[in-house]
Structure 1
Amino acid sequence: MEANLSLFNQINSLSYWFLLESNYKSSIVFDAEKDTYYVSIKKNGQPLYSHHISHFSSKNKRFLQFELVAIVNSLLHIKETVMDRLRKSS
Structure 2
Amino acid sequence: MDENLALFNQINSLSYWLLKESNYKSSVTLDATDDSYFISIKDGLESIYKHHIENFSKKDDRLLNFELASIANHLLHLKRTIREKERLAG
Shorter-chain TM-score tier: over 0.9
Question: What is the SS of the residue equivalent to 1:78?
Answer: helix
Matches within 5 A, 1:2-81: 2-81=2-81
Separation in 1 of the partners of 2:79 and 2:40? 14
Aligned-pair identity (%): 54
Segments ≥4 residues shifted beyond 2 Å: none
| Per-residue deviation, 1:56 | 0.8
1:77 partner amino acid: H
Per the alignment, in what secondary structure is the counterpart of residue 3 of structure 1?
A: helix
Runs (5+) with no aligned partner, structure 1: none
Give the RMSD, CA atoms, in angstroms.
0.7
CA distance in 1: counterparts of 2:83 and 2:21, whole angstroms: 9
Separation in structure 2 between the aligned mates of residue 5 and residue 56 of structure 1, nearest angstrom: 12
2:89 matched to 1:89? yes
1:11-32: CA deviation from partner (whole Å, max 9, x where unpaired): 0110110011110110100001
Whose relative contact order is higher, 1 or 2, with alpha carbons under 8 Å and at least 6 apart?
Answer: 2
Q: Deviations for 1:58-80, whole angstroms, at most 9, x for unmatched residues? A: 11110000000000000000111
